Structure 1
Amino acid sequence: MAEISASIVKELRERTGAGMMDCKKALVETGGDYEKATDWLRAKGLAAAAKKASRTAAEGLVGVAGSGTRAAVVEINSETDFVAKNEQFQAFVAGVSQVALNVGDDRDTILSAAFPGGGGSVQDVLTHNIATIGEQQAYRRAAIVEVSEGAVASYIHNAAAPDMGKIGVLVGLQSSADASALVELGRGIAMHIAAMNPLSLTADDADPAQLERERAIAEEKAKAQGKPADITAKMVDGAVRKYAIENSLMGQVYVRDGKAKVSEFVAAEAKRLGADIKVTKFVRFQLGEGIEKAESDFAAEVAAAAGV
């Protein structure tokens, strides 16, 4: 077998944009022939996938899987909303959701796990999809919600297909109450979370960094009123506490009731069902949140393509 030098691997990587290990494998498979290795990468879709990797993928789908006491939610991104309607892409989202349900939310574990139905690992199928669909796609994140007894309910907002859409929510309810009743309650709470986007489960769980930012804002407002220092301190503490409560799930007014807080509604349901109910955790994934989308200038793109 021909010796595969580091320099030729590097050169092939720069030419094709494929990964270092894929380039080395291509050279091994083709006996060190540079041109054949390039064609090998193109045939496998690896060069195309790598070249598309620089594009922003902020569309796609959020998918959920699971029932009973454990569920998973994942986000898979694409460049355009059009791909989110592609059956091949939707099948991938469904498969990755199931993988996450089985193996957990660790990124590397998910990408290296066998994809349901064959085709290699999740990463292998993702690379294949990029090449065949013709757009950059990316696995972004996953989360698991689990209870020892009770139910984990899910809700998908703006569903594009069963169990996948633009917003996915999971809610864990720890209880010995009837499972079907818990799922119904949990789904209602999940719909509330999708609409109101609480930042924490309770006021005491609020992010300290966010509270410090709110404190700084409240202090500036209080100073502008010229109140005595002791009054100002109480005003600031009150404003920060109000912010923490209003942005916590249990402190918000339940949207489907319009009167009681979520905590009060859950307590009333627990009394009705004859068993304690504790909301243990929730996860809300909104498609593309936090991804900075590149703003494109169509005229400039055309000019660049034309070499103007």
Structure 2
Amino acid sequence: MAEINASDVMKLRKMSGQGMMDCKKALAETNGDLDEAMTLLRKKGLATMAKRADRSASEGKVTVKSSGKDTVLTSLCCETDFVAKNDDFKEVADKVADAALQAAPGSKLAEQEIEGKKVSELITELVSKTGEKTEIGDWAKMSEEENTVVGSYVHFNNKMGALVKIVCENPSEKLQKLADEVCMHIAAVKPMALNKESFDQEVIEKEREIAKEQMKDKPAQIIEKIVEGKINKMISENCLVNQKFVKNEEMTVEEAVKDAGGSKIAAFERVAIG
């Protein structure tokens, strides 16, 4: 068996971020080969991931990051709040956001490379340190275009956030502040759609069926009117543009946007953990 010296242990610790004893053990099992020891530590992470695959990853960290005209909102999920507050976890969450800035919307972040490694490798190494199931959750990306403002917000618990894009004639600090406040509204109120036109038709039909079942004892001639009234109310309450703005309930979100100099909301995204 090769002699394991302290300098190699320190070198592997720096490479892997693992504890001294784990590094010493890995080197002992691989006869002092640093590359093989690093592979062994990664395998340890993969084994932990497989073992805990059925666990719930309902904690974690939502991260917002901007570069140039692009803004991303990413989520990295784990099992406990304790790990979510760990510096190693926060570092990987930050790198996931960096990877998202380089990625096309909707692509798999796990396959993206950052600093010479795939995101999936970073997560595997993190799992070998924490022993918890860790996975990338939902993520979103928005890009500012001419005559638009992109707002962002992450709640103080780091478990939910939002992005919004507002069309305007002249971007301003007032509109930028409003855009960030609209994101706060989105994170808290959870709108289901931007407007009536973009509302999920499957959801509408399901709600219509439920309403008809609830009204089945009513006279046939009034059922349709009552059902449609319920559907219109549901749509109105769950469309972002029609909701009462949390910062000023005397206005709808759409009215608040126009009051701040915006023309309309082009899109929004909400990302949450748990």
Give the TM-score category using the shorter length: 0.7 to 0.9
Q: Alpha-carbon deviation of 1:41?
A: 5.6
Give the unaligned 5+ runs of structure 1.
1-29, 31-37, 160-164, 271-275, 289-308
Q: Alpha-carbon deviation of 1:49?
A: 3.7
Query: What are the Cα deviations for residues 101-160 of structure 1, in whole angstroms up to 9, with x where unaligned?
Result: 22123443x222222xx362111111111102222211123211234222211111124x
Query: What are the Cα deviations for residues 239-286 of structure 1, in whole angstroms up to 9, with x where unaligned?
Result: 11111111000011111111111112222222xxxxx52211111111
**Distance of aligned partners of 1:102 and 1:174 in 2 relative to their CA distance in 1, 3 Å threshold:** farther
Tell me, yes or no, if structure 1 residue 206 matches structure 2 residue 199.
Answer: yes
1:104 is paired with a residue whose SS is coil
Q: Which amino acid aligns with 1:75?
A: S
1:223 is paired with a residue whose SS is coil
Partners of 1:119 and 1:125 within 8 A in 2: no
Q: Which residue of 1 aligns with 2:128?
A: 131
Q: Which amino acid aligns with 2:129?
A: T
Q: Alpha-carbon deviation of 1:87?
A: 0.9
Query: What are the Cα deviations for residues 198-219 of structure 1, in whole angstroms up to 9, with x where unaligned?
Result: 1000022111111112112222
Q: Which residue of 1 aligns with 2:184?
A: 191
Tell me, yes or no, if structure 1 residue 50 matches structure 2 residue 50.
Answer: yes
Q: How does 1:223-302 map to 2 (within 5 A)?
A: 223-224=216-217, 226-229=218-221, 231-270=222-261, 276-288=262-274
**Distance of aligned partners of 1:258 and 1:67 in 2 relative to their CA distance in 1, 3 Å threshold:** farther
Q: Provide TM-score, normalisation by structure 1.
A: 0.71
Give the unaligned 5+ runs of structure 2.
1-29, 31-35
**Distance of aligned partners of 1:266 and 1:106 in 2 relative to their CA distance in 1, 3 Å threshold:** closer
Q: Provide TM-score, normalisation by structure 2.
A: 0.79
Tell me, yes or no, if structure 1 residue 144 matches structure 2 residue 141.
Answer: yes
Partners of 2:41 and 2:128 within 8 A in 1: no
Q: Distance in 1 between matches of 2:170 and 2:198?
A: 26
Q: Distance in 1 between matches of 2:258 and 2:105?
A: 31
Aligned identity (percent) is: 32
2:98 is paired with a residue whose SS is helix
Q: Distance in 1 between matches of 2:62 and 2:38?
A: 33
Partners of 1:75 and 1:285 within 8 A in 2: yes
Q: Distance in 1 between matches of 2:54 and 2:223?
A: 50
Q: When you count strand as a share of all residues, which structure comes out higher?
A: 2
Q: Distance in 2 between matches of 1:133 and 1:255?
A: 38
Q: Distance in 2 between matches of 1:93 and 1:101?
A: 13
Q: Distance in 1 between matches of 2:47 and 2:190?
A: 40
Residue from 152, 155, 158 that aligns with 2:156: 158
**Distance of aligned partners of 1:220 and 1:55 in 2 relative to their CA distance in 1, 3 Å threshold:** closer
